[in-house]
Amino acid sequence: MNPILLAIIIVTVIGLIGAVILVAASIFMYVPVDERVEKITAVLAGANCGACGCAGCADYAKSIVEEGNAVNKCTPGGAKTAAAIAEIMGVEAGSSESMKAVVACSGTCEKTSKRFEFEGIQTCQSVKGLYGGDGMCKYGCLGYGDCTRACPFDAIHLVDGIAKVDREKCVGCGACASACPNSIISIVPEHKRKPVVLCQNKDKGGDTRKACTAGCIGCMKCTKVCHFDAITVENNLARIDQEKCKGCQLCVKECPVGVIHVPANE
């Protein structure tokens, strides 16, 4: 027999045997999948951001069906997605509060400066490993854009030396917060009138002023003007309890360095 023809026959037979084995395996090893998993996956935002605490959207959908996970954990999808999932599962959606990222730093190029010129790999993580960063303030935004590269929604950009959140695009997934080595980005409820302290500097007031003219100096003026005991100063840094805050904004007007802002108004 022609060697070439023989080779073709052998390869064909091997292929047929392999196909039969695969078909048999798919039949005998088939694991039924609840159709609700596929339906829920389809209505999720598809960001695979991990804000729900799962590895991705498919994993979250599976945990809802098989483990009874809450239906309102898809932050990017918000209330609309929660309602759609609840309908599929035949349960109540519950409350789903809109979340947004907040960058707790006001140190723009005009208000602070660099200690040295960094010539290594241009990432926040890299510069953080060198003396804590190249900025005068070791607590502030490092300004190399790790958060911008992590955001799947193009909702955060570097503006005037620091990260700035586009609140229209932000869905509060938390990817930027996870990427920030200085942990200055937090995910907070979308309160229309509640202020936040845009600083993380814990040095004494005098040292903070040397590093950044927009840093919190721990003067406690904000605590004295607040009628709801919503502001405390710990380690020379003001903190606002969002649960206690009523949004009167007296602290915003009283802050001598202008470090307290209402993000929704920016």
Alpha carbon dihedral 172, 174, 180, 183, in 10-degree steps, equals: 90
Confidence grade of residue 31 (pLDDT, cut at 50, 70, 90): low
What is residue 128's predicted lDDT score, i.e. its pLDDT? Answer: 95
What is the distance between the alpha carbons of residues 149 and 120, in angstroms, rounded to a whole number?
A: 18
3-state SS assignment for residue 114 = strand
Confidence grade of residue 30 (pLDDT, cut at 50, 70, 90): low
Helical packing angle, 35-43 and 57-67, nearest 10°: 140
Q: Tell me, what CATH number does 246's domain have?
A: 3.30.70.20
Q: In whole numbers, what is the pLDDT of the chain averaged over residues?
A: 91
How many domains, the chain? 3
Taking 60 as the threshold, does the pLDDT of residue 227 lie above it? yes
What is residue 109's predicted lDDT score, i.e. its pLDDT? Answer: 94
Condensed to tens digits (0 to 9), the pLDDT of residues 149-182 reads 999 899 999 999 999 999 989 988 899 999 999 9
If you search the block for the tokens 């960094």, which residue do you land on?
118
Q: Are residues 74 and 109 in the same domain?
A: no
Q: Are residues 129 and 116 in the same domain?
A: yes
- Final residue of a domain: which of 138, 161, 190? 190
Identify which of 149, 120, 146, 148 has the alpha carbon closest to the alpha carbon of residue 134: 120
Q: Are residues 214 and 244 in the same domain?
A: yes
DSSP states along 115-140: SS---S-SSHHHHHTTTT-SBS-TTS
Identify which of 255, 148, 125 has the alpha carbon closest to the alpha carbon of residue 198: 255
What global pTM score does this model have? 0.75
What secondary structure letter does DSSP report for 112? Answer: B
Condensed to tens digits (0 to 9), the pLDDT of residues 244-264 reads 999 999 999 999 999 999 986
Which domain range does residue 245 map to?
193-266
Q: Are residues 142 and 211 in the same domain?
A: no
- Final residue of a domain: which of 142, 157, 190? 190
Q: Are residues 137 and 84 in the same domain?
A: no
Type and span of the H or E element at 17? helix 3-28
Taking 80 as the threshold, does the pLDDT of residue 266 lie above it? no
Q: What is the mean pLDDT of residues 199-212?
A: 96
Cβ neighbours around 112 below 10 Å, total: 23
Taking 80 as the threshold, does the pLDDT of residue 12 lie above it? yes
In a domain, 176, yes or no: yes
In a domain, 257, yes or no: yes
Condensed to tens digits (0 to 9), the pLDDT of residues 96-114 reads 778 899 999 999 999 999 9
